[in-house]
Structure 1
Amino acid sequence: MAVQFETIPEELSWTDSWKLWFWSSCRSCLPTGCLGWAHTQRLSTGFLRQVSQIGHLGQEAPDSAPNTGIWGEASRFGWLGGRHEFINDLVAAQWPYISDWFDETMRTNCEPALQSVMPAGITICFGDKCSLGTKPAQLQSIIASKYCEDPLEESTTIRLDAQLNYVGDSHVDVTCTVGSLVLTQLQVTGEIVIELVRLQKNPPWFSGVRIYFSNRPKIDLVVQTEVLGLNANFEFIKQKLVTALGDVIAGQAVLPNRFCLPIGDAISEVDLRMPTPQGVLRLVVLEARDLPDPGRSHWHNVLRPLLGSRGVPEGPDVHPFVEAAIGAQVQRTDTVNGSLSPKWEYGNCFDFVVDDIKRQGVEFTVHDSDTSTFKWKADVLGHGGSKLSALLEGQRTENHQPATWLRLATGPGKYIPAGQLRVRAEWRPLSPGGTAIYVHPAAGPPRGLWSIGPGNQSEWVLVADVLSATALPGDSNGQKHRVTLSLLWEGVETGQQSTTGLATAASPLALGEHMISTMNLRPEIGEVLRKFPERIYALWRAKVPMDQRAEKLERGYLFPKAQKTELISQVCISSPRGGYQPMFADAVWNSTCHLLLDSISKMTLRLAVSQHGASLPVGVAVYALDQLLEAPGWRFEGLLPLRRVGKVPIDPTDASAALEVRLRLHQLESPP
């Protein structure tokens, strides 16, 4: 809950008012370490003026400015002129904090990922210097548009599409077992989107900011190496580092993932980060032909399609499989052994939940799975891809779904021909929540709605928002937890699963104190709140609700009526996470998972909360999906009881844990 701690004097300029309002009402749920947003008080006055202009423009659009329907073609804002340059002002002002975030991300995410792919006996870590440098990124070719994100609320979102062509003066020291490296000139190229979400009539004029790439950006860098005093070729490490860095960016800011900044309480953090997707794209990988043989020369592979039967027969050491990627989602086919023209009969049909069918693309990578024996063999045989809209264009005809041949390429710049890949694709948009496409939806969908692949699979999309868990056992304090979602049909696992990220459990007062610290309050206000733990607890419980019985028990434990030398509540606040065992612990994920269902009847959603590395879950919650069809708009939001696994409840604390979730059900429309 946002709290306004200071009244804004009327005589202040609009810029000063916006600045005061922004920092007094920023939500406390900002993710830790996200670009140093808590320090953005130092933003230039010029940036705030630009925000002022964009906000007023959001209100004062002329009547001639066209409107768009939800997910429709966004209209271009010619009347915005060049005023959206405030985005580059923001990037420049934030660059020191972005560099700090880069340092933390490289050490906490990239370094373990890089170490995991190193050969046995080789260790690698980042050195003292890990910086993006002083040259900020600049966005080019910015196009502004607007769309209605939620027709029920008639809210408007401004969208800025821009091209990022960043070549910086970064410097990263890398130390490994056999020598040292210096990484410079980081290059990031891609189409980036910045959205000012749900415009308002009052400052700061919008409810939140989203930043993301529709597709994975291209990443490159320069590696300067010195091993035992001699220059060496570390192309292997460079490739792995580029891949690891790309995966980190994809996990945070490539659809369906978005980097988000909530402002105020007009929109929840989950809605800001994960708006409702547009639909499901089905891909079927059929076959490839004329793939290069990694065990032979480049010229042999170039001439082999021309030689035909006179060429050297295909060797048995090639075992191709295909990875298909849409945004940050990646799926792979089975492996076909010993063929440079493989065909896939099974394990080749994939369903992707898509957020932007017009701007997203699909990338195919053909790999050779047999690279362990001969290290010089290439892991990647070829790359190919297409925009989803181009792939779907003209594919659907009457009762027939023709396939498309895509060209594959390899080598630097991907200019060397590497064969072709044959695929099929089909698109089905989501229906609005609570709208039935079939006469009797509970009975399950009829067969044959998909033209390709299994006709009666993936007819529904369940959007599950896992928000928080409360009243976890006290010994969970300081431990990392995740939630695994799985589908059961008549109590039997269907194999459909999705998992949230990790969240550290802590006492509610420790989490509340952290919430207060991220609100960027004046020091004296923070000190006053810390002297009254009951207020911190009330603020936290307003944000993260729990079962009433559990809250009564917890309040009696934290704030006993009998005076003690040192209240337990003060110990919870002053002790580091994991340094004190409270009665209960909370964990917050604010994570969204998508599950595809064939039907709803007799289906149950199982949510298991488990500690990282543990074999048994801490607790399990279940929800019968038949109930969603009876709920308004096919939605449920509330607390689900968490049943302790392997333990019979013998006191109230054993049966008070709960999981806060929000479930939304959507049926797929017929293919257009």
Structure 2
Amino acid sequence: MTSLVDSLTASGGGESAGFLNDIVAQLWPNINVAAAGIAKNVVDPILASTLPGPLSSIHFVKLDLGHVPMKFSNVDVHKTATDGIKLDLDLTWEGACDIELDGNHVPKIGIEKVHLKGRLSVLLCPLTNVIPLIGAAQVAFINPPSLKLDFTDAANIADSFLIKNAVRNTILGIVSSMAVLPNRFLVKLDANCDYFKTYHPHLGVLRLTIEKATNLGVSNEGEKKSKTSRLLSKLKLKDVPDCYVKVNIGAEGEWRTSVQSNNHNPEWNETHDFLVADYEQSIAVDIQDDDLAGDDDIGIGHTTIKKILLNGGSQKLSLTHKDEPTNAEITMHAKFYNFVSDASLLSAQDAGGKDQICGLVTILIASALGLDGQRNELNPSVKVTWSGKEFVTGAKTYTPGVDIFNPTFDQAFKIPLTADMLANAESFKISLLNKNQETGSVEVAFQDVTSAPGMVKEDSFDVGNGAVVRASISVRGIQLSE
């Protein structure tokens, strides 16, 4: 197995992306049309289901990305462990757009400029010996991108600011759910590409410990105070903060420490496990003052998984408040665990706490075959149930060109394993649904997966009534990386 340091320093260095920018510039009119289709077919339904109240009627009525194409730079090319090619590259877009959204009982919203910046990861896999030589492309931002929207003044009412904020935050949420690691936007280049060979597994687990913070709300003696220092000094005089830390890595769920009351130098020594999709993923820490009237920001710090591991697994971060430096610091520690297909390591020995991860279950749902019925009455999806958790693929609907009797899903579900789950490992249940009604199912014993070669059970599972679901269930243990 490659050492952790070798994996972290495998980059060959950034290269120019001039040729890619030339291609994108030529394709920009086509990209413009494709984006309008994605907005109508993908984004509009999500806006309807996520925006609150009357805002749920908001939808795109016009989407023109303008004449300024996206720019790429600093391209880094890697070979992946799953027989593919990985490109990391910076994306910058200063778009001069003409975008309009409208809805019932809300003003029309216009967007004239989009400022987008982030680092992309593009996976090209699997590699084949048949043209186009690449089975699929998967695109994702390594970390949540920076997005700023310049709105027109069409919505000239008192609550337009709230509407615009809701739209911006919802768009960022859509981007995160579709294309911020660990989520990847999949485009099949070969219609016959096998999803099981396309899927890119997580690298491992980061066990992160928030140790302590110092000088929260404390400024240096004799220092000319900035606005932030004066604010924090007022905080010190008025109230000693009750602090907790919010930690975010990629699009994974946020973790919060406990609250340490009345302390400028709180200590937590609390640990949480995060799934890692890329070593360049950012670790964002945000210290908050717990307050009944609304929590206040005290300080924010950033590092990356790569930086803290190359620093020996410990790092002290200086904190900023509203982009101004403070005297506050936070200390944290990290260990990295690889996922391994070794049943002897699938135990609770590495789980130091009740909810810490000691393994990972990954369920891939590729397709269903042999469905029966009237095509206009079919609305199939697949549900996976295990250890009290349920996951459902997107439902498919017949449209011309879609084989609704043999639908493709190409979705992955991940379940971090804990000691309690292993102690009571029940069978996996795979159910075929039509309009949310179960039409058939199959159960797969946990032991059948762990005893399979490589701890991967891959099959076309018979769910009854002549239908099968093509699925893969894998189990991984963890091993401390050195």
Of 628, 642, 659, the match for 2:449:
628
Alignment gaps of 5+ in structure 2: 1-5, 218-224
TM-score (norm 2): 0.78
Q: CA deviation at 1:591?
A: 1.1
Equivalent of 2:65, from 128, 132, 135?
A: 132
Report the AA paired with residue 66 of structure 2.
G
Distance in 1 of aligned mates of 2:131 and 2:432? 42
In structure 2, the residue corresponding to 1:515 is in which secondary structure? coil
Measured against aligned partners, the alpha-carbon deviations of 1:374-422 in whole angstroms (never above 9, x if no partner) come to 6xx67766543211111223344xxxxx5x44344343xx346595544
Q: Distance between the aligned counterparts of 2:235 and 2:115, measured in 1?
A: 41
Q: CA–CA distance in 2 between the matches of 1:482 and 1:350?
A: 31
The code of the aligned residue for 2:338 comes to P
| 1:78-124 CA-partner distances (Å, limit 9, x unpaired) | 8x9965556525652532234314532442223542x22x6xx7766
1-structure distance, mates of 2:394, 2:204: 27
Partner of 1:54: none
Aligned pair partner of 2:254 in 331, 346, 349: 331
The answer to whether the 8 A contact 2:94-2:114 is kept is: yes
Q: Distance in 1 between matches of 2:288 and 2:166?
A: 15
Among residues 473, 479, 482, which one is paired with 1:663 in the alignment? 473
Letter in 1 for 2:150: V
Query: What residue number does 1:11 align with?
Result: none
1:624/1:70 CA distance change after superposition, 3 Å? farther
Amino acid at match of 1:483: K
TM-superposed CA distance for 1:134, in Å, is 3.1
Match among 243, 266, 275 for residue 353 of structure 1: 275
1:255 maps onto 2:166 in alignment: no
**Secondary structure of the residue that 1:242 maps to in structure 2?**
helix
TM-score, with length taken from structure 1:
0.58
- Partner in structure 2 of residue 458 of structure 1: 357
Cα offsets for 1:443-482 (capped at 9, x unmatched): x5363x46xx429942222221123456779699455745
| Map 1:135-150 → 2, pairs under 5 A | 135-143=68-76, 145-150=77-82
Higher strand proportion, which one?
2
- How far apart, in 2, do the equivalents of 1:514 and 1:267 lie? 18
- Contact (CA 8 Å) 2:449, 2:475: kept in 1 or not? yes
Q: Give 5+ residue unaligned stretches, structure 1.
A: 1-68, 293-297, 397-401, 488-492, 517-536, 545-586, 643-651
Shift of the alpha carbon at 1:131? 3.1
Q: Equivalent residue for 1:167? A: 94
- 1:467–1:589 contact (8 Å) kept in structure 2: yes
* C-alpha deviation, 1:186, in angstroms: 0.9
Residues 135 and 630 of structure 1: CA distance in aligned 2, closer, same or farther (over 3 Å):
same
CA deviation after TM superposition for structure 1 residue 215, in Å: 1.3
**Which position in structure 1 is the counterpart of 2:220?**
none
Change (3 A) 1:300 1:205: closer
The amino acid of 1:95's aligned partner reads I
1:204 counterpart residue number: 132
Per-residue CA distance 1:344-374 (angstroms, 9 max, x = gap): 869x5432221222x2222234567868xx6
- Give the CA deviation at 1:427: 0.7
| Partner Cα distance (2:257, 2:192) in 1 | 46
Give, in angstroms, the shift of residue 203 of structure 1: 3.0
Matches within 5 A, 1:416-495: 417=326, 420-431=329-340, 433=341, 435=342, 438=344, 441=345, 445=347, 447=349, 449=350, 453-454=352-353, 457-469=356-368, 477-479=377-379, 481=381, 483-487=383-387, 493=388
**1:53-81: CA deviations, max 9, x gaps?**
xxxxxxxxxxxxxxxx9887144698x99
Matches within 5 A, 1:195-274: 195-226=123-154, 234-264=160-190, 267-272=193-198, 274=199
Corresponding residue of 2:391? 499
Q: Deviations over 1:556-599 (max 9, x none)?
A: xxxxxxxxxxxxxxxxxxxxxxxxxxxxxxx6432112222246
Residue 592 of structure 1 aligns with which residue? 412
| C-alpha distance 456-187 of structure 1, shift in aligned 2 (>3 A) | closer
Letter matched to residue 458 of structure 1 = I
* Partner-residue secondary structure (3-state), 1:430: strand
Structure with the bigger percentage of helix = 1
Percent of residue pairs identical: 15
Larger radius of gyration: 1
SS at 1:627 equivalent: helix
When the two chains are superposed, the root-mean-square deviation of aligned CA atoms in Å is: 4.3
Q: Distance in 1 between matches of 2:438 and 2:215?
A: 48
Specify the SS of the correspondent of 1:94.
helix
Alignment partner of 1:515 out of 381, 402, 411:
402
CA distance in 2, matches of 1:423, 1:612: 48
CA deviation map 1:236-279 (0-9, x unaligned): 4343332221121122222222222223367423532x312211
**What secondary structure sits across from 1:133 in the alignment?**
coil
Q: Sort the Cα spacing of 1:611 and 1:365 in 2 relative to 1 into closer, same or farther, 3 A.
A: farther
1:95 is aligned to 2:31: yes
2:273 is the counterpart of 1:394: no
